[in-house]
Chain A
Amino acid sequence: MAAPKTISIKLKVWRQSNPEAKGEFKTYQATDVSPHMSFLEMLDVVNGDIIKAGDDPIAFDHDCREGICGSCGAVVNGEAHGPKSQVTLCQLHMRSFNDGDEITLEPWRASAFPVVKDLVVDRSAFDRIIAAGGYISVKTGSAPDAHCLPVSKVDADAAFDAAQCIGCGACVAACPNASASLFVGAKVSQFSLLPQGQPERKSRVKKMVWQMDSEGFGNCSNAFACEAACPKGITVDFISRMNREL
């Protein structure tokens, strides 16, 4: 088996040692990068070299590395999650780059997502939005039989499309206003499409939007950058639905 052709990449990475520190870009060279590597595996290799050189490795969030946990994410050459459509950073592979490319890597930029360290940001604002109303209030044990409420397949499928959100925050990072409208719109829509979600329908959207605003996310101005950046292909139709629900 012939060794795959490898490439070299120049990385400009945002380094910031803590929330208060003033960050800066630092340059690293990644050599012998296999095109089969994932982007994060390339970062692992770079970090191995940084550690051996006695420095602090680049901090980045990641966990499942299969595009579902929503932990990873960085702005790659100005694009949230990088150049490929509907792909998280962990599922981006180095075959998307060419030998000699220069890659600039930044954390999500939004005042509601303060930087913790390097590429790691604090997205707990999303949890607070969910806590404000992103649920159907049903206590354990009190549910009726699952088949007592038929749901049309069309509605169920649309609710699923909305429910696919992984909470990564790319929509916020991509939005010129750092709005969380796609995130909130998706959750509001999931429940408003389902019969189970009807009793709290009116109050849910108000509570969630109010929380979004008080977290410091901006307004939606129909730039649609969120839809383009969303790794799960969630569409701005759900923002329209949220606005109708309000």
Chain B
Amino acid sequence: MKLHSNEPDGKLSEKWEKHKFQMKLVNPANKRKVKLIVVGTGLAGASASASLSELGYDVHTFCIHESPRRAHSIAAQGGINAAKNYRNDGDSVYRLFYDTIKGGDFRARESNVHRLAENSVKIIDQCVAQGVPFAREYGGLLDNRSFGGAQVSRTFYAKGQTGQQLLLGAYSAMMKEVNAGGVKLYHSCEMLDLVLVDGKARGIIVRNLRTGELETHAADAVIVATGGYGNVFYLSTNAKQSNVTAAWRCHKRGAFMANPCYTQIHPTCIPVKGDYQSKLTLMSESLRNDGRVWVPKKKDDTRKPSEIPDEERDYYLERKYPSFGNLVPRDIAARNAKEQCDDGKGVSESGLAVYLDFRDAIKRDGRKAVEARYGNLFDMYYQIIDSNPYEEPMVIYPAVHYTMGGLWVDYNLMSNVPGLHVLGEANFSDHGANRLGASALMQGLSDGYFVIPSTIGNYISSTDLPKVSETDKAFEDAKKECQDYIDKLLGIKGSKTVDEFHRELGLVMWDLCGMARDKAGLEEAIKRIRDIRDQFWKDVHVSGEQNNLNQELEKAGRVADYMEFAEQFAIDALHREESCGGHFRTEHQTEEGEAKRDDENFSYVAAWEFKGVGNAPELHKEELVFEEVQPSQRSYK
């Protein structure tokens, strides 16, 4: 099947305006009769719920947490981009669009990215009006900082807690609608299946995590905003409960999964310390504005960092990329750190770390200024590592952070399954093969506040949606399948814990599908993933019962999905015989070791159709057409 973006024709900068006019509207009086399900309450889900309810729709919102405010968007640190050009440094909607397309290594859809850049300015207005306390200057106006992959200062921030403040803004907007009666909120509920009636998404099955009960919910359309799948690596900067389950179960019901191999490995995280490690902690990319990354020039140098004089340090990013220096995009910074460590120049006990040094910034601006910018990050680092970054350089190493791939959606954010819409990190749409810093928050809020409120109306008003009931056969059948699945998991009573299997899977993914991939390794990964999956279904031990809070059962379902998803991830990475952004195939690199794209053969979105567990998925392509920007070799030198 050839996939189409369903974007309107015409000039790129006018597409969204034109589309908004061409789309059909729903009569205000009819909106309240339209029931919409939103799954997930991160930036995308919460902002969508609030905005759709304000329009008058009957919104039913589900989250796995005990409170919608716990969604993982809360942990985003650095900031949110917007083309306000408040700094008069040459920024514009076009430049933000261009930087994002280029940063994504020319693997994103031009029309989506341009719309994102257009919406960025309205997001800041909206958030400020909600009372989001962004950083300000003494004159009372908003402050900005620069972020990786951009040479302008367009990032708005609230210390190192921007995600928290934006999420609380979206959450409070949604709670306002809960109070007004437009949003009905279901907390502690996990989506286990998508229900199709006549080929359209008409509802979901959820498990109430407190009581264990399976519930059916019918609607006119379903909006999934359930985040990314970074935890397929077990260790990542994602929260422990972040998972692929909702997206994967949609995929098993026919929604295509696009570019699953595009994973972002973030360059500045706290390194792994032991086998017991349960997650990795990000140190915001904003630190690279003032921190200088270096390793000793000498291999296996065991001296303390303070004992190594400047001439014996290699500030390798500044040396190799003089125009961007420490601000190169994440994929490049991460790969370079790995390269230095592979070359024996890594520091710390494990040799798997590089320095991020604030000595010069503190000398230049004073400790107080550095503290004002990064105080909470320095404190967090100190809590975890027990070393003071004001006095000693931080040790950092790359870790899995964000996933650019996700369910395929068209320009309307609708998947190939009619009625199933996908927002935020859960879709694949805007970041291509690498996401630039401070762009995830922008995308989640653009999708939720400004895109879906327009596009959902067009779907509703142009689609025949006969009434369905939660007691229809399709719902009963799906519910039974979920029940059988749970029974199966609880019935194995094997000898290994869910976490043990998850760790094992994660190691395979990190070693063979991580920062550098090759054909032999990926083939080996597929074999090993299948073995681990077989073992899982024979030998996992899921304790407890269904009809109670059972965190082991929750984890088991999610890990079972990761085991299926991981195979497709590796298949996608194997099929993409090129390097682009975060997908680095060692067979495809330039003489200088940079990613080498193959635009002639791979300038497309790879959207995979599920064909059964263990069966090869079927590849569908959406060709990427570049009318505005000429794809070129990315250069940050």
Contact = CB atoms under 8 A, between A and B. Distances in A.
A, B bound: yes
Interface of A: 1, 17-18, 34, 36-38, 40-41, 44-45, 48, 51-52, 54-57, 59, 61-71, 86-87, 91, 93, 95, 116-117, 120, 122-124, 126-127, 130-147, 149-153, 156-157, 159-160, 163-164, 166-167, 190-191, 194, 196-197
Contacts of A68: 74-75, 161, 164
B133 A146 contact: no
7 contacts: A48-B500, A52-B495, A59-B551, A66-B281, A66-B282, A138-B129, A147-B142
Given A134-B175, A152-B140, A145 B383 contact: no
A196 B67 contact: no
B277 A41 contact: yes
B245 to A, nearest CB: 15
A238 to B, nearest CB: 14
A157 B134 CA distance: 9
A38 B278 contact: yes
Given A70-B70, A144-B125, A160 B158 contact: yes
Interface string B201-240: 0000000001000000000000000000000000000011
A141 B137 CA distance: 25
Given A66-B75, A140-B126, A197-B131, A1 B497 contact: no
B47 interface: yes
Contacts of A61: 66
B346 to A, nearest CB: 13
Contacts of A71: 65-66, 70
Nearest to A45: B276
B161 A41 contact: no
B543 A63 contact: no
A194 B131 contact: yes
A40 to B, nearest CB: 7
Contacts of A141: 51, 122, 126, 449-450
- The size bracket of the interface on B is 35 or more
Interface in B521-566: 541, 543-544, 548-549, 551-552
Nearest to B542: A51
B173 A140 contact: yes
Contact of A66 (B141, B380, B552): B380
A63 B386 contact: no
B544 A124 contact: no
A37 B136 CA distance: 37
A34 B276 contact: yes
B179 A131 contact: yes
Contact of B278 (A65, A91, A116): A65
B612 interface: no
A32 to B, nearest CB: 9
A185 to B, nearest CB: 16
Given A127-B175, A196-B128, A196-B130, 9 more contacts: A48-B497, A63-B239, A93-B384, A122-B66, A135-B173, A138-B126, A140-B450, A141-B126, A167-B69
Interface of A is mostly: loop
Contact of A140 (B138, B449, B497): B449
Contacts of A69: 70, 72, 74-75, 239
Contact of A135 (B139, B175, B549): B175
B189 interface: no
Interface in B77-103: 84, 86
Contact of B131 (A40, A139, A196): A196
A5 to B, nearest CB: 13
B2 interface: no
Interface in B357-380: 379-380
Contacts of B497: 48, 51-52
B70 to A, nearest CB: 5
A157 B50 CA distance: 27
Interface string B450-477: 1001000000000000000000000000
Interface in B31-84: 47, 50-51, 54, 65-70, 72, 74-75, 84
Contacts of A44: 276, 278, 499
B374 to A, nearest CB: 15
Nearest to A61: B66
B634 interface: no
B140 A135 contact: no
Contacts of A194: 131, 133
A157 B136 CA distance: 8
Contacts of A67: 380, 383
Q: Which of A18, A56, A120, A143: most chain B CB closer than 10 A? A: A143
B517 interface: no
Contacts of A134: 172, 175
Contacts of B399: none
A131 B51 contact: no
A11 to B, nearest CB: 16
The 6 closest A-B pairs by CB, nearest first: A150-B140, A143-B129, A135-B172, A160-B133, A143-B125, A140-B51
A116 B179 contact: no
B630 interface: no
A134 B453 CA distance: 24
Contact of B276 (A37, A54, A120, A151): A37
Given A67-B380, A126-B67, A127-B68, A159 B274 contact: no
B173 A151 contact: no
